[in-house]
Each structure stands twice: as structure tokens, then as C-alpha cells.
Structure 1
Amino acid sequence: MQPLTGLKVIDLTQVLSGPYCTMVLGDMGAEVIKVEKFPSGDDTRRIGGFEDNYNFNMVNRNKKGLQVNLTMEKGREIIYRLVEKADVFIENFRPGVAKKLGVDYETLKKHNSQLIYCSISGYGQTGPYCQKGGYDIMAQGMSGIMSMTGETDGRPVKVGIALHDTAAAVTALYHILLAYIYKLKSGEGQYIDISLVESGLAWTVWEAASLFSKGEIAEPNGTRHRMIAPYQGFRTKNGYILVGAANQKLWELFCKHVVEKEEWITDPRFITGNDRVQNVNELEHLIEDVFSEETSEIWLQKLESVGIPCGPIHTYAEALQNKQILSREMVIEGKHPRGGMMKMLGFPGKMSKTPAQLRSPAPLLGQHNDEILKELHYSEAEIRQLKEESII
């Protein structure tokens, strides 16, 4: 048994934020029914120009697939029947769309008063921006994260991954689990409102600390840390490496045993951690002058030999071929009915009693229509009629 075995989730989300959240619920044992729009399904199915592509399959494993036309009353009736026995309902429509479709919280809680209902949107369900369309890149801009990413004096840079989408997924995930714990104690469901902007903004704790305490506005800083030095990437003879001499002890080990510049320890510019941050430009130039004499591999060996945190800067392909990543089973394989054996990312949390499991690949479009409807006591004739009427 897995930790969420028995939890029933109705998933009306698409693309990334919602599907990532429900994927993790499914990985941990929840029964997730992914409801896709009629006739095209999740928009992600068409990214790249072909159906059932890797993008879709990456975040929709461990789910059953149901395709329903929610613009028709008979389609909404299917959702109402599903909700009667569900624990969680999650959607990521633009605010107001769920109500137009008849699947908003106020409507669904009439069918199940204990329902946990989660909405994910760009800016949240309230406020002057609530009706705006919000994608990850807009959230990165509004949260200020894009303004502090990249090199000094450079153009604003988007974080290399869909940061706010994933942050919203994780934020939705733990709020759903908190609501589920509350439901187990009280018997009551509730409504959860998750915003892409706020989910990423909540992670900017160091930047907020600087602003609130000293009025300092975070700016692009390359690979440097805002409050620690040396803690960044440095150029070597053949590439770049990362060094994290994050305290005085590590700094002195670095000077004595790595770069062999013991005089830096007493240099007035670098005596304290704050001194090193204030003079990070000079420090970076001095370190890179020394690092340019040897390869990345040699410097990493020296750093590791004295216990200074360090590492390479991988390409993404190199990351997924790294022996540490592979030994921890962060690349797994599963068989897809159309794609054959497909690689995907593994499970980041390693639980000793109730580990995550790959039980099934992402569903084909409408793959489990008949199975799910039969469980809802639709007859063969009724299912056939629903197909003829373009409800499913």
C-alpha cells in the first residue's frame, strides 16, 4: 500500500502546473482520473506536432484518461457522478471558466460537501489581475525573478525551466495534502486558491530579507550568491566549475590548500565574509587568474580533497547521464502502448515504507472512457449513445 492509496482525484488540468501536481499524487498511490476536453484533449498533446508526445507523457503517468464534452449537460453529469465519490477536484482554467462550464466549487460541493477543490491560475481568483491570462513567463516577470536573473548589466533573463508552473504544482500539492489531513480530522472539505505568481514569489526569501531589512533591491548577479563569497561559478583552463566556500573555515582551506594563496586570508579586502561579498569583483578575477592554469578536473579534485563543496556545470544531457543521478534512479523507463519503452524522470523522494511507483504510463486520449463510465453505472447502451452524441 502507498501513502495515498484510496485517495480519489478528479483532474481537469492541462499543460504543466496541474498535471505535475496530480502526477505526484498518482505516484504516491492516489487514483487520478484525468479529464480532457472534447475533442482535442490536453493542449500539451500537440506540442511538437504529434499526439501523445513526450511532453504529455512526462507529467501524466499513473492516471486514467477520460475525455468529456463539458459544454453539454450530459458531459457535466458525468463529472457530477465522479465528484460524488471523489476526495479532490483540481482545475487550472482561467478564473470564471469553471463556473461557465458548471464545474465550479459552489456547484460541485452540492454533490459532495466534503470535496477538496483546488484552482490554479496565473494571478489567483481575486484581485485586479485575476481575469488576466497568466503563463509561467508572465509570472517570472511580475514576481521580479526575471529582473534578478542573468549577468550584471544584461537583459532580463527567464529562468531556464518553467519555475512558476512547477512552484504552483508543488504549492498546490502540499495544500491539497494539508486539506486532506484536515478533512480526515474534521470531515470537512474546502476550497484552495493557488496563484502561479505567488507560488514562485514565496520562494524569494533571501531577496525579501534584503529588501525589508536594508531596502536593497536584488539585481542580476550571474552565478554569484548575494551574501556569500566565493560561492559561484569560475572559469578554468577548459570550462567552468562551481565553488562554495561558504564560511570562514572553508575560505581558509581554499586559500591554503587549493589555490595556495595564504596571503588572501589577511588581505583587508577578504578578511570577513562581508568583505569578500563587497569585493567580489576583485576576488573573482584573482581566483580565475589562478584557475586558468589548470583544468576543471584538477581543481575539482583539489577542492574535494579538503572538503570544499564544489561541482561541474553540466549540460542537461550530462546531468541525466551522471553516475550519481543514475544510481539514485532519477531516470526510469516505462512501456507506453504507442511509444514503446519511454524514459522519464524518476521519483525525487525516497520513502522506506511507501515509495512512489510507476504503475501505468500516461493514458491515450479517452483511453479509460468505458471503464470509468461503467464504474459510474452507465450501461453499454448509454455509453454508446454518449459517443454518438459527441459527449465522450
Structure 2
Amino acid sequence: MPYLACTGCGKKHPLATDLRCADCGEPLEVRYETLTPPARLTEEPCFIARNVNIFPFPNLRPELSLGEGGTPLVEAVHLQRETGIGEIYLKNETVNPTWSFKDRGTSLGVQAALQLGFERVGTVSSGNMAASVAAFAARAGLEAFVYVAADIPESKLGPIAIYGCHLTRGTGDYGSLYYHALAFGKERGIYFISSDNPFRIEGQKTLAYEILDQLDYEPLDFIVLPVSSGGNMAAVIKGCEELVALGLIQKAPFVIGVQAAGCSPIARAAAEGKEKIEPFPNPDTIAHAIANPFPPSGNRILRKVREGRATVMAVSDEEIIAAQAFLAQKEGLFVQPASAAPVAAVRRLAAAGTLRPEHRVAVIVTGSGLKDTGALAHHHLEGETAERR
């Protein structure tokens, strides 16, 4: 039977509404006594039906799916040519229903809310998760409460509010809003499907399953992805570990998390060998989607770093802007700055010789550039005027 376990102290919890351990405060995650492999992508198109064997609840409702998951794994031919790396693949999460990877976790998070008897769901978000929770809640007939930071750009509010949710600009940054929401949810009967909700993690771990499925379970050396709260990175690591336990692969890919240098609390703590993250002062980066100054799963990621399963690094805004332009102009993918961060890391690591020609690398491209069109101002784009003859 599935159960929840603390990622810090290991204490067991039942499958219930708890999101963090009452003893040590660290995130909970779903564990299984036995697992059965999911269906292959080619065999089952529905996200819920395909992954039912690796999800914790019975009687899930496939009709609540919005077509999430099953995203393309595209060979990055120009990035391969530039870096000299033999095989690089881009997992294109921009084609999910609300244009980001968040839909995977939200899909199962909403199903969990229904299983647990909730009629209200909520989230704290910098933008991507807000739209995702609002959309899936609408599909399921649930009331949605979305809290965003006070400094979120005006252009991001409409694409969230259109789903009919209760949208509130909060005070403070994402890190502080997250913890306030946990208490608020208990008071108001709102089930928060935020970054490291254990059932959200179960939905997001399917990224690892899909990437390896699309590669026919052939060896993969690295998975590179942007990191904000740490929840998605934890999910990908968990998925890789389960793939090994199931015997579908022999060795888990090494996971490289990438933060923006202007807000890199996990990368900084990892570089300094610390066991716990500290709040990052005065965040300042173009990559707003990963500008989380106090990530709720930061300590969890540091434990994986110490176990030798992962690492976290930081790249500059200049590298991110250059990578965003490269992806658009060479690979034909317009992504938000946060999604360009792992490509910036791949370019740097290849130049340093850390990533070599014999390596196979998968890069998770997490969100569409349409999520943050304000970043276009950094590219000094100009159109041509047709001359009248």
C-alpha cells in the first residue's frame, strides 16, 4: 500500500492531507511497497490512464485530464553541433495545456484533492502554477484560490484570472507566501497544490519516465533542468530512482539543477557544503519563474547532492538571455528565461569539458516564452520596414 514518508527524518504518514512532516518540517513524499511499470507512451495516450500504476490513488478520473504529458523529446541538432556533445535532447514541456511542465503535477494534485474530499484547491505561484491550478480546478469543478507575489507583472494576471479563480496578490515573496498558505489552507479548508505537494511530485516524476521511455530505456548520462522551489528536481530524481528499482534502467541519470545567479539559494548552499539553505537576499534576475529566495524543497535537494545523485549550479542573466536567443533562432523554440537556464548550463559545462562528446543529455524545457514576453526587451529586436516602390 502507498504511504507518505518524510524526506528528512523518514517518519511514515498515511495518505492524507499532511504536506510536511510535523516532527522536522521537511516535505513528505509518496512511497510504495511495490510498483508496476506504467504503460508505454505509444500504448496509452491519456496521462492518467498511462501512469495509473505509478500513482498512489485508485479510481482516478481520466476525463479530468486536459491532454497533459506525452510531450515531444526533440534532438537539439544545433546545440549538439555548437557544444560537440554527441546527443542532446530537449523535452519540450511548452506544449502542455497551460504551456508549462506544471500541468503534470496539477493533474494528479487535483485528483488527490477530490480523493481527499476537498471542494477547494489553492496554490502559491510566480505564474506558471497559478494558471495550471486554475485551469485544472475549472475542469474538475473545484473552487480555486491563487496567491501570487505582489510584484508579479500585470501581463501575467489576465491569463490566470480568465479561468475564474479567486486571484490575490500577496505580500512578500514566493518563499514567505508558501508557508503562510499552508496555515491558511488548514483554516479555510483549501487544499494547496503548491510546489512540493507530495501528489504534485508524483505527477511531475513522469518527466523522468517519459524521457527514458522515449529513448527506449537506453542509457542516459544527464538530465538538466531549471530549479526554483526544488519540487520538480526532486520529482525527476525520484522518477529516476523508481526506474532503477523497476529494472527499466540499470543506472539513474545524474541530475543537474540550474538556478539564476541572481537568486540561487540552493546552488550557493551546495557550493558551500551546507546542510540547509538560507534565504537569498535581494533576488534580482530576468528568470522570474525560478526566483525563489527560500525554496521549500531546498534542503531535500541538498540531501540528494550529498548522496551523489545530483548537483546544482548557477548561470548569469547574460548566459540565460544568450541561451534564450539560441533556442529560438537555432532550435526554433521560444521559451521563457527560466527554461533557457539549463541550456546556458549545458553550453558552459561543454566548454569546460564536464560534458563530453560521448555523453547523452536530456534538457527539460519547462515553459513557453509567451509566459514572459517582457524578457523580449533584453534582445533588442527590431523589425524591418518595407520600402514603397
What TM-score range do you get, normalising by the shorter chain? under 0.3
TM-score scaled by length of structure 2: 0.25
TM-score scaled by length of structure 1: 0.25
